[in-house]
Amino acid sequence: MQPAGPPAYPRRMHDGAWVGRSVSRREGSDKVSGKLAYIDDLSRPGMLHGVTVRSPVARARIRGISFGPGVPWDEIVVVGPKDLPGPNVVKLIDVDQPLLADGEVRHCDEPILLLAHADRAVAERARAAVILDLEPLPAVFDLDAALRGDVIVWGSDNLFREYRVHNGDVDAGMADPDVVILEGVYDTGAQEQMYIEPQGMIAEVDAHGVTVRGSLQCPYYVHSALVALFELPADRVRVIQAATGGGFGGKEEYPSIIAAHAAVLARKAGRPVKIIYDRVEDVMATTKRHPSRTRVRTAVRKDGTMVALDIDFVIDGGAYLTLSPVVLSRGTIHAAGPYRWPNVRIHARAVATSHPPHGAFRGFGAPQSVFALERHLDRVASRLGLDPAELRRRNFLRQGDRTAVGQVVHEPVDLDAVLDRALEMSNWAEKRARFEVENRAGGPTRRGLGLAFFYHGAGFTGAGEVHLASVAHTEATADGRVKVLTASTEIGQGTNTIFTQIVADAVGLPLDRVDIAEPDTAAVPDSGPTVASRTTMVVGQLVRDAAAQLRTALVDAGLLAADADRDQTAAAFGPAVAAYVERHGSLRGQATYRPPDGIHWDEKKFHGDAYAAYAWAAYVAEVTVDLRTAEVRVDDFVAVQEAGRIVNPTMAAGQIEGGVAQGIGWAIYERIVWKDGRVRNPQMTNYIIPTAVDTPPIRVVFVPPFLGDAAPSKGIGELPMDGPAPAVLAAVAHATGTEPMAIPMLPEQLMIILEEHRHGDR
């Protein structure tokens, strides 16, 4: 990836010495030097290696299990459903998913049996020697077949969850004689998170309880699952995050399964057990982005005024519920985009199929619905003879407008400024016109420019943050240091560095006087999961409040001057804390989440204030299409966003760059190949992700916050996943005169589109 220079951000937003500055990543040197120990670098005395026996078929009745020759079975620890200490369920939103299949298999690679041995090679031999007697049952892999109920694989109708949004009179809007009606169907495929480090856990079980450590995003998710499985008091289950090599949502809910597998093996063995997946097993067995199909029908006046929007949004949840309801919810809320639609109807469903369960992935449902709407609006603009940017501009949400779910836009949004910056940086008007002239001249390549405009809500949807009731603690020590205690995890996105900057400013200390506690459920409070673009916006504010309490306590006790500057505070802080501790025993701060005033969400009506804050963005992709090979090369990418106060500009830009690269991969490189419900390309040699060579220069800009100096920070982890795919396909459409409506669009798919277009021109 070519460097694009620092992101544009006004210096006046610096809050004290540290917030707003690109300080170095705290764990950076340990990662570069190899000093940081990941879960597969760790071992415990007497440790065994665990493996999982999985189903080779999508749906079947388990008639029997036998153990083949050539394996020292007397040395192998074997765990089946009857060996579990408590209920055979994985606790999450629902309890429909068994930890081990019992009687029936519902998807390929579903866990059936667990094995462990001191020698990993012997454990692998034993896995290969297990003989499963399975009676195949009918399965369903198609969304329409699942909706029709051709085969029922979950509940009474295969329907995990359903949401409806209805504002105005869509039918009347569609019947307006002055509107242009356009329909389209847009498909998105599954996507593998492809984190650098595969899933891994080490578990120990003794008389004191259960301890697991591993690669994970959400310690308290795993903790809750283990408490339910082992039926133990919460204080007898301990979950510790090891250094984690990436997550992207793939280590949100799935670690509960691998942690539980390791723990039940350790319980039976009486020894620690490590389970580490190789890449093939990780890709085949773990959750992915939900595939989707979106039918869009719009009524738009000839001047570009949007009148009515009718959407049918369906996602494939796979065999078990996992997080499908919340993925569907976010996709539904974002489906109408940042536009004024006086009449809206959205019908959204998550259905069960016989695929492995789909789950959390960066963007959490919004990329699927945003792709559909943005591609559709380009087609609308083409029908009306309008510039795609102008169509969007004429319908932007303004202050005082309501979103599709009824949320009033209270902040003074300036979406024109975001769009104008993207158009200026990409040289939109001149390049669009020039490319069209060059493309008409012929030749083996075509060039195009495409746009996507979108928004993304930060934090949990609706009352989710209230339900979590997240807590953050700080503690001051007599040597003049502050420790931050939260369950927020560092997974490469910069949590430790961001929290350090926030606390250093809140107290008035140098960065090296702030320590971040290891995420360990025995030592840190439940500050909620590291998901949903909430770490900086939600937990960061709690950390700030808890840190400020330390300084306030010292000032109130007369131990620190209220007007002490940074140097004075740094010098006086240690002695002041020592004196305070001598009087009171300890100096700690604590903050608990409270929703902003006036925020209300009605889950039953699916209406109200869906998010406390939104980030807004305009992305422009420039592509070259080779008509001979149908290959698409992204030549340039402009990413402009308003995301409130930026704590660390370099790391924020890195988040945008990484999300854009991942979005480009989803658009034109990454195809999961399914056969009978099983992944057939589970290796990095045949599941292709973009490399540095394939990634264009990504020019990142953060426009000044709409709220000025009073702006809070907003989440940006998910935002950059939403826009790249529609922008890239819009550029391909501009280059070729075609209307691609599905991703991933590999050369073989584009070749079919180009051929159909040529035949249509004859």
342 is written with which tokens? 């006086």
**Amino acid 759: pLDDT:** 85
- Among 154, 191, 157, 401, which residue's Cα sits nearest to residue 287? 191
Place of tokens 């005033």: 597
**Amino acid 709: pLDDT:** 85
| 2 pLDDT above the threshold of 60 | no
pTM score of the predicted model:
0.96
| 15 pLDDT above the threshold of 90 | no
* pLDDT classification of 761: cutoffs 50, 70, 90: low
CA 243, CA 217: separation in Å to the nearest integer?
10
CA 177, CA 160: separation in Å to the nearest integer?
39
521 is written with which tokens? 């459920």
Cα 82 from chain centroid (whole Å): 35
**Amino acid 11: pLDDT:** 31
Question: Three-class SS of residue 166?
Answer: strand
Could you read off the pLDDT of 640-699 as tens digits, one per residue? 999 999 999 999 999 999 999 999 999 999 999 999 999 999 999 999 999 999 999 999
Average of per-residue pLDDT across 472-491: 97
**Amino acid 224: pLDDT:** 98
Is residue 256 within 8 Å of 221, Cβ to Cβ? yes
Q: Parallel, antiparallel, or unpaired: how do β-strands 179-188 and 742-743 relate?
A: parallel
Sequence length of the chain is: 762
| 380 pLDDT above the threshold of 80 | yes
> What's 503-553 look like in SS3?
HHHHHCCCHHHEEECCCECCCCCCCCCCCCCCHHHHHHHHHHHHHHHHHHH
Q: What are phi and psi of 111, to 5 degrees?
A: -65, 135
Q: What are phi and psi of 615, to 5 degrees?
A: -100, 145
* pLDDT classification of 102: cutoffs 50, 70, 90: very high
Average of per-residue pLDDT across 420-445: 98
Fold match flag (396-403+410-459+611-761 vs 464-592): yes
* pLDDT classification of 623: cutoffs 50, 70, 90: very high
Could you read off the pLDDT of 174-212 as tens digits, one per residue? 999 999 999 999 999 999 999 999 999 999 999 999 999
| 469 pLDDT above the threshold of 90 | yes
Mean pLDDT (the chain) is 96
Ramachandran class of 462: left when φ > 0, alpha when ψ lies in -120 to 50, beta otherwise: left
**Amino acid 639: pLDDT:** 98
Domain residues of the chain, as ranges? Answer: 396-403+410-459+611-761, 464-592
CA 327, CA 349: separation in Å to the nearest integer?
10
Is residue 459 within 8 Å of 538, Cβ to Cβ? yes
Average of per-residue pLDDT across 714-725: 97
- Among 705, 530, 537, 709, which residue's Cα sits nearest to residue 611? 537
**Amino acid 5: pLDDT:** 39
Average of per-residue pLDDT across 565-576: 96
Is residue 728 within 8 Å of 631, Cβ to Cβ? no
Place of tokens 């804050």: 613
| 13 pLDDT above the threshold of 90 | no
Instruction: Give the rounded percent of residues in the chain with a pLDDT score beyond 90.
Output: 96
CA 551, CA 498: separation in Å to the nearest integer?
19
215 is written with which tokens? 């690669």
CA 331, CA 44: separation in Å to the nearest integer?
43
CATH code for the structural domain at 464-592: 3.30.365.10
CATH code for the structural domain at 396-403+410-459+611-761: 3.30.365.10
Q: What is the number of other CB atoms lying within 10 angstroms of the CB of residue 361? A: 27
Could you read off the pLDDT of 512-539 as tens digits, one per residue? 999 999 999 999 999 999 999 999 999 9
Average of per-residue pLDDT across 472-501: 97
| 12 pLDDT above the threshold of 60 | no
Average of per-residue pLDDT across 47-61: 98
Cα 32 from chain centroid (whole Å): 25
**Amino acid 550: pLDDT:** 98
Which of residues 315 and 1 earns the better pLDDT score? 315
